[in-house]
């Protein structure tokens, strides 16, 4: 018997292959039978291209039914799916090619020739194909029409996907998620959120992170229920689809942007059963405004690439603003000090988790993996939290130096290294401060050698080197960076100093 996660999915699809899976406004609907057939076709095609069990397939493609089927095809044939953000530049892609050593790299249509050269310079053995319907020689154009493909035998511990999550020292780490991880977390969530046979999921998230790829899609797929599949988040389009849906999952920015829409009210949400938020903190203000406008209390949950979901507010029972609820069934969570001492309820410490959802380790980084696990198997998340006497968890901060902007993680170190290379910069510190749209906005605080460092100069230096969403929204010049007695930059003090930068409209860009 196989423990391939895909066999659980096909079992669900098989109950009615005619059921709509993906509802797309400008294309035909795709049924679960279509996804099943297309995944077999992709698997057969990848096999011809040389992909074998355990080989990595690096994927940087726009959201589409074909992209979903490609993911399923990888599961089906036992290849390891490695999705990356479509906003990454070629310079960033080079790292993922180098690190994951894929047998196949599937990219967008337009960038194929450039990326083929890039891949070739890194590893000649990597085959590059665009996914596109258009490109000659694209993956779809070379499909051989196979409609069946035996599901590869996989054990629960075998790796199904690698999700890159940036490292605090700049190098991205690939979190290896097993078939067992995917299966346990999705089965738990379908049950915990009581997924219904007649649920319709409003899906406007990207599908290269765990939120959109695993949490949202797996819940819908395990019950073979439809997804309204939107390519990107547009508040007008999402609001227009709310009456057709029963569940929505989103990052807090989705909710704040929807609150700005005048049509958002109880009537618009009349068919909704559940609004779920995660990937970044949902403020109590957004929670309360949403409740009063729509009558729905948003269910906040907490997770990460390494673990998928760890905790959730209850479906039935009190959803408390500013908390992420209780550890999910089968997941153990505790709050510990830096040295690993387990703390009393109410004390602030790092959340540590253990369970069948917790990843197998970082791809080719055994030391890093060992560092982030306790000897008794708990994974150290790096998130600071308290737990009350009932087990309810509230996240209060992060031990890791990381900014979460619109649900994307940005690692200051990655930017600081580049800023410090600028001849006009003496030193820099990158921080996140409250931002009305993105939750946190990236600010580069720089100490110039002589002349002020302008936003334009920073933008020019970063162009093509890192994705635009990571780039500072504001550059601030200061005479010196605050340091403690050990000489370490005090980012808390900078965060405090510039806390009103995006909320105070009179703030000057370089006027610190
Ligand atoms: C886009 N931009 C951002 C940004 N997204 N800037 C900062 N932070 C972001 N998150 C910038 C672009 O670079 C561009 O800048 C401009 O905004 C317009 O780009 P866009 O693509 O049109 O933006 P928009 O569609 O408005 O995107 C915003 C968003 C999107 C919030 C809808 O970022 C998004 O879908 N976020 C979800 C991320 C997510 O899925 N996270 C899950 C991680 S999993 P310029 O300068 O070029 O104009 C995880 C685990 C868990 O964390 O628990 O779930
Ligand atoms: P990623 O590495 O992209 O998977 O991001 C995971 C990180 O997102 C976690 O470690 C948390 O810091 C953050 N996160 C996810 N959900 C929440 C939440 N509900 N509240 C606060 N932070 C969250």
Cα dihedral: 274, 275, 276, 279 (round 10):
170
Please work out whether the CB of residue 333 comes within 6 Å of at least one atom of ligand 1. no
Q: Which residues line ligand 2 (CB under 6 A)?
A: 165, 209-210, 278-281, 300, 302-305, 324, 381, 383, 395, 398, 404, 409
Which ligand is nearest to the Cα of residue 286, counting in written order? 2
Q: Strand pairing of 20-23 and 227-229? A: parallel
Which residues sit opposite 162 in a β-bridge? 176
Query: Which domains, from first to last, does the chain contain?
Result: 5-154 (3.40.50.980), 193-297 (3.40.50.980), 403-511 (3.30.300.30)
Q: Which two tokens stand for residue 347?
A: 């004390």
* pLDDT on residue 168: 61
Please work out whether the CB of residue 441 comes within 6 Å of at least one atom of ligand 1. no
φ/ψ region of 439 (left if φ > 0, alpha if ψ in -120 to 50, else beta) reads left
Instruction: Give the burial class of 150: count Cβ atoms within 10 A of its Cβ; 0-12 exposed, 13-18 middle, 19 or more buried.
Output: exposed
Question: Of ligand 2's atoms, which has the minimum distance to the CA of residue 211?
Answer: 4
The residue contributing the CA closest to ligand 2 atom 22 is 280
Q: List the Cα angle 222/223/226 in 5-degree steps.
A: 110
| Buried-state track 309-340, b at ≥16 Cβ within 10 A, e below 16 | bbbbbeeeeebbbebbbbbbeebebbbbeeee
* pLDDT on residue 114: 82
Query: What is the C-alpha to C-alpha distance for residues 101 and 309, in angstroms, rounded to an integer?
Result: 28
pLDDT in tens, 403-455: 999 999 999 999 999 999 999 999 999 999 999 999 999 999 999 998 999 99
Query: What is the C-alpha to C-alpha distance for residues 446 and 462, in angstroms, rounded to an integer?
Result: 15
Q: Strand pairing of 403-405 and 227-229? A: unpaired
pTM for the structure as a whole = 0.96
Which residues sit opposite 159 in a β-bridge? 178
**What stretches in the chain show pLDDT beneath 70?**
110, 133-136, 167-170, 505-512
Which of 326, 429, 333 is closest to 377 using CA atoms?
333
Q: List the Cα angle 182/301/306 in 5-degree steps.
A: 40
Q: Which two tokens stand for residue 98?
A: 């180098």
* pLDDT on residue 511: 37
């Amino acid at each position: 018997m196989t423990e391939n996660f895909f066999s659980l999915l096909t079992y669900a699809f098989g109950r009615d292959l005619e059921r709509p899976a993906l509802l797309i406004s400008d294309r035909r609907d795709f049924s679960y039978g279509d996804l099943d057939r297309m995944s077999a076709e992709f698997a057969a095609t990848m096999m011809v291209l040389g992909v074998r069990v355990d080989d990595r397939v690096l994927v940087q493609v726009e959201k589409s039914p074909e992209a979903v089927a490609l993911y399923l095809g990888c599961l089906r044939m036992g290849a390891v799916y490695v999705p990356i953000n479509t906003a990454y530049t070629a310079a960033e892609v080079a790292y993922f090619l180098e690190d994951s050593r894929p047998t196949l790299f599937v990219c967008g249509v337009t960038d194929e020739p450039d990326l083929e050269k890039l891949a070739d310079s890194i590893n000649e053995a990597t085959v590059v194909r665009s996914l596109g319907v258009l490109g000659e020689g694209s993956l779809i154009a070379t499909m051989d029409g196979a409609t069946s493909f035996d599901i590869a035998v996989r054990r629960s511990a075998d790796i199904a996907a690698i999700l890159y999550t940036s490292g605090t020292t700049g190098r991205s780490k690939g979190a290896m998620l097993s078939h067992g991880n995917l299966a346990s977390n999705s089965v738990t969530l379908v049950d915990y959120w009581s997924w219904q046979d007649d649920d319709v999921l409003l899906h406007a998230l990207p599908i290269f992170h765990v939120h959109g790829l695993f949490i949202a899609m797996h819940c819908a797929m395990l019950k073979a229920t439809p997804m309204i599949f939107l390519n990107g988040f547009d508040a007008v389009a999402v609001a227009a689809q709310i009456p057709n849906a029963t569940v929505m999952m989103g990052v807090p920015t989705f909710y704040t942007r929807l609150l700005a829409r005048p049509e958002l009210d109880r009537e618009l949400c009349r068919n909704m059963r559940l609004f779920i938020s995660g990937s970044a903190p949902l403020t109590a203000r957004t929670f309360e405004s949403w409740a009063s406008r729509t009558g729905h209390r948003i269910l906040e949950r907490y997770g990460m690439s390494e673990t998928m979901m760890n905790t959730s507010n209850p479906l039935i029972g009190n959803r408390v603003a500013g908390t992420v609820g209780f550890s999910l069934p089968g997941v153990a969570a505790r709050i510990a000090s830096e040295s690993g001492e387990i703390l009393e309820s109410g004390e602030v410490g790092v959340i540590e988790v253990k369970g069948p959802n917790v990843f197998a380790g970082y791809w080719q980084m055994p030391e890093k993996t060992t560092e982030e696990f306790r000897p008794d198997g708990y994974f150290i998340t790096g998130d600071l939290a308290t737990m009350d006497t009932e087990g309810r968890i509230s996240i209060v901060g992060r031990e890791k130096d990381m900014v979460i902007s619109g649900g994307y993680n940005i690692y200051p170190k990655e930017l600081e290294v580049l800023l410090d290379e600028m001849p006009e910069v003496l030193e820099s510190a990158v921080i996140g401060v409250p931002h009305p749209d993105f939750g946190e906005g990236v600010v580069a605080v720089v100490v110039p050698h002589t002349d002020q460092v302008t936003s334009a100069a920073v933008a020019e230096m970063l162009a093509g080197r890192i994705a635009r969403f990571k780039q500072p929204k504001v550059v601030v010049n200061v005479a010196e960076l605050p340091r403690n007695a050990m000489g370490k930059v005090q980012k808390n003090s900078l965060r405090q100093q510039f806390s009103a930068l995006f909320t105070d409209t009179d703030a000057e860009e370089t006027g610190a």
